[in-house]
Amino acid sequence: MEAAWIVGQRPAAAELPLRVYGAGISRSLVEQVSRARRLPVEAAGCVELADVVLSVRQQLGRDPHVRRQAQELGIPILVIKSASMPQIQRGLERLLDRRQPQNRDLVPQAPGGDADDDLAALEECRLAVEQVVLPQGQPVELLPRSERVRRLQAELAAHYRLRSADFGRGPERRLRVFPA
The domain spans of the chain are 18-97, 115-178
Which CATH fold would you assign to the domain 18-97?
Rossmann fold (3.40.50)
CATH topology agreement for domains 18-97 and 115-178? no
| Distance separating alpha carbons of residues 41 and 91, to the nearest angstrom | 11
Pairwise CA distance, residues 26 & 12, whole Å:
26
Q: How does pLDDT run along the chain (180 residues), one tens digit per residue?
A: 332 333 333 444 445 789 999 999 999 999 999 998 889 999 999 999 999 999 988 887 787 888 888 888 888 888 888 888 888 998 888 888 876 453 334 433 434 456 667 888 888 899 889 988 999 999 999 888 889 999 999 999 999 999 999 998 888 889 999 998
pTM of the predicted protein model: 0.51
CATH architecture, domain 115-178: 2-Layer Sandwich (3.30)
